[in-house]
Amino acid sequence: MVTKRQLGIIVIALGLLVLLSTIGVDFIGAGEWSGFGPLQRIGLGLGITVTVVGAILICLGDRPA
């Protein structure tokens, strides 16, 4: 059984992955915009939200997820 804390860790990892991918695409030159594109803004918002949700879940401790 997975706890809220463990789920939070997984969710944070996913959020960070989204954030890193969002920023990382600029380094490989993907996308059609030269600056920070609209899809990246969506990715950034999503990544931050997911990370915050994960952090809250970690605070909820060992309750079952």
Strand, helix or coil at 63? coil
CB 12 within 8 A of CB 52: no
Instruction: Give yes or no for residue 52 binding other proteins (CB under 8 A).
Output: no
The torsion of the CA quartet 51, 57, 59, 60, rounded to 10 degrees, works out to 170
Q: How far is the CB of 57 from other proteins (least distance, A)?
A: 7
Site string for other proteins, 4-33 (x = CB under 8 A): ---x--------------------------
Q: What is the DSSP letter of 31?
A: S
Q: How far is the CB of 16 from other proteins (least distance, A)?
A: 19
**Exactly one of 15, 22, 39, 58 binds other proteins (CB under 8 A); which one?**
39
